Amino acid sequence: MTNTTMGRFRMMGLIEGGSLLVLLFIAMPLKYGFDIPQAVSVVGALHGFLFITYVLFIAYITLKIRWSLKWAAGAVAVAFIPFGNIVFDNYLKKSSFVN
């Protein structure tokens, strides 16, 4: 999956989506259930970094493989929807961009 630019982009999306899962289902319970607010501080910062990296990767992919503005705008839009990048990844697998 990581041998191509598109493969690395797809992997980045899955990692970013995974960081949201860790934030929601591990860090948040640690903060509110066990009074460990540092968990959200650390994981939240990591998730923020990964999200920004994902959006920058969208810009890079747009220039590298010449995505249309429609594809780029769609990719950015779904990035703001929780787990939207995972749905977008499934759509990419079916498109001609991955092959």
Q: What is the pLDDT of residue 85?
A: 85
Domain ranges in the chain?
A: 5-94
Burial of 38: CB neighbours in 10 Å, binned 0-12, 13-18, 19+: exposed
Considering the entire predicted model, what is its pTM? 0.85
Tens-digit pLDDT profile for residues 23-77: 999 999 999 999 999 999 999 999 999 999 999 999 999 999 888 888 899 889 9
The packing angle between helices 38-64 and 69-79, to 10°, is 170
